[in-house]
Amino acid sequence: MTDPVLIEVLRGAIVESAHRGAVAVFDADGKSVWEIGDTSKPVFPRSAVKAIQALPLVESGAADAYGFGNRELALACASHSGEPAHVELARSMLARAGLDGSALECGAHWPSNHGAEIALARAGELPNALHNNCSGKHSGFLCTCVHSGIAHRGYVKADHALQDMVRDAMQAVTGAIHGPDERATDGCSIPTYAVPLKSFALGFARMATARGFGPERAKAAKRLLAACMAEPFFVAGTGRADVALMEAAPGRIFVKGGAEGVHCAAIPELGLGIALKCDDGAGRAGEAIVAAVLAKLLRADQALAAKLLELANAPIASRIGAKVGGLRPTAALN
């Protein structure tokens, strides 16, 4: 099955490029609310499931033991932009467990925030693993290891006890088998598993409602999503789409993007989870699709829906800042 075009990219009045994709919206009982395209196809969720991967940090008691509040938990679920506040918070999380950046096994890269990158260069510095967009997640992993008495070295490997905990959480929440046949390696060196797209929609409906969870998991899931919605900057960074979407309706929308055009989201008040994949992996399309899907599901709040649709219709500017085109959701998203 060929997924439909969900986002058109216009230059002037002409469609220059087009993005196909699939969307799944489910409730926590596994009822399909809205599906577009092939929602059964295996998708690597990449960073879009970091909130589920952070469950062991809370459930193990590590988050409480180290006194983590909303910001630390948001950073544990983040793909941050490497801005100074992100880097410092990751450093302080590790320090609470007696570690520093050298324990991180995610690798280093320059901040995705351009101002932060230039400032780092101007200071004559090079990026380290704390600047990696996944350093908050990895700091959470390391804190979980230390608090649980697990030797942390090699914590990124599929057969490490920490990854067993993460995989168990992923399987329980999504209901999908995460076996060796589904496994590959993410950019930050941890395993990522390709399972049906709709499993993530179900998983985030459960995360938002805690339906079907025991009391400890229920508390952890609600706490993690609430932390992200309370501190969206620490989930992403300045000017990022996920921040704009969560700030559009504080406490009412959870959104998290991942590499290769994946987005997961949840609307707690409706008890819904959302998962989508742009087939070609374009982040710009994933962001526009999730904004359009949220606008449709929240259409009862007209002012909010209008704000979300504006984010779905992102402009494209020339190098002198003139608007020369933009993204446009297709009728498939109406």
Contact residues: a copy of itself, CB under 8 A: 2, 9, 11-14, 16-20, 42-44, 105-110, 114, 117-118, 121-122, 124, 132, 182-189, 192, 194, 260-261, 278-282, 285, 318-322, 324-325
Q: Of 71 and 131, which CB lies nearer to a copy of itself in the complex structure?
A: 131
Give the CA dihedral 103, 108, 113, 117, nearest 10 degrees. Answer: 110
Of 136 and 325, the one with the shorter C-beta distance to a copy of itself is 325
Looking at the Cβ atoms of 248 and 327, the one nearer to a copy of itself is: 327
What does the angle CA 241 – CA 41 – CA 163 come to, to the nearest 5 degrees?
Answer: 70
Task: Find the shortest distance in angstroms from Cβ 147 to a copy of itself.
Answer: 25
Backbone angles phi, psi at 192, to 5 degrees: -130, 145
Residue at 178: amino acid letter:
H
Region of 98 on the Ramachandran plot (φ > 0 left; ψ -120 to 50 alpha; else beta): left
Strand partners, 315: 326
- Is residue 210 within 8 A of residue 276, CB to CB? The reply is no
Nearest distance from residue 151's CB to a copy of itself, in Å? 20
Query: CB of 32: closest distance to a copy of itself in angstroms?
Result: 24
Q: Are 223 and 248 in contact (CB under 8 A)?
A: no
* Identity of residue 22: A
Closer residue to a copy of itself in complex, CB, 133/171? 133
Least distance to a copy of itself, CB of residue 108, Å: 7
- Residue 182 or residue 301: which is nearer to a copy of itself going by CB? 182
> Helices 215-230 and 197-209 meet at what angle, rounded to 10?
90
Q: Closer to a copy of itself by CB, 14 or 331: give it.
A: 14
Degrees to nearest 5, angle at CA 285 with 265 and 70: 35
Of the pair 132, 171, the CB lying nearest a copy of itself is at: 132
Shortest distance, CB of residue 191 to a copy of itself, whole angstroms?
10
Task: Return the beta strands (E) in 194-333 as ranges.
Answer: 195-196, 254-258, 262-267, 272-278, 315-317, 323-329
**Cα dihedral 286, 77, 275, 311 in deg (nearest 10):** -40
CB atoms within 10 A of CB 300: 8
The nearest distance, CB 167 to a copy of itself, in angstroms, is 15
CB of 198 to a copy of itself, least distance (A): 17
